Amino acid sequence: MYRPQQQELLITAVEQGNKAEVETCLNMPGTDINEKPWGMESLLMRAIRCNHKDVAELLMERGIDVEPDSPRSETKDCRQKSARDYAEFYGMPDIVKKIDEQRIKRMARP
C-alpha cells in the first residue's frame, strides 16, 4: 500500500472513531502519527472534533505531539489552535488534563 493511502486510511479511522483500525494503521511501517493532512488539523484534533475520546487517548498514548507546530501569536485573531484548545472547546476536560500532564512532563525533561 502506498503511504498516502495508508495515511488516508488512518485519517478516516480517526474521523469514524474506529479505534481498532487506528491501531492497525499506526502499526503499519511508515505511518506518521504527527502528519497534518492538508496542513491543518492533527489527528488528535480530528479525534477531539469528532468526539472520539478513546481514539484521542490512544493517539496520546502512542506519542502524538500535542504542541502546535509554531509559536502562538500574541494577536487573538492570529493565534494557532492547539489540540488543547480543541479539547476545551469540545468539552473534553479529561483530554485537557492529559495534554497538560504531557506538557509538564516534557518541560521537566533535561
Give residue 71's pLDDT.
44
- pLDDT above 90 for 73: no
Query: pLDDT tens digit string along 1-49?
Result: 677 788 899 999 999 999 999 999 999 998 889 988 766 789 999 999 9
Q: For residue 79, what pLDDT band results from cuts at 50, 70 and 90?
A: low
- CA–CA–CA angle 80, 82, 88 (5° rounding): 120
Cα–Cα nearest to 86, from 96, 73, 100: 96
Residue 93: domain span: 3-108
pTM summary value: 0.84
| CATH classification of the domain holding 44 | 1.25.40.20
Quote the number of domains for the chain.
1
CB 6 within 8 A of CB 30: yes
Measured distance CA(46)–CA(52) in Å, rounded: 9
Give residue 70's pLDDT.
45
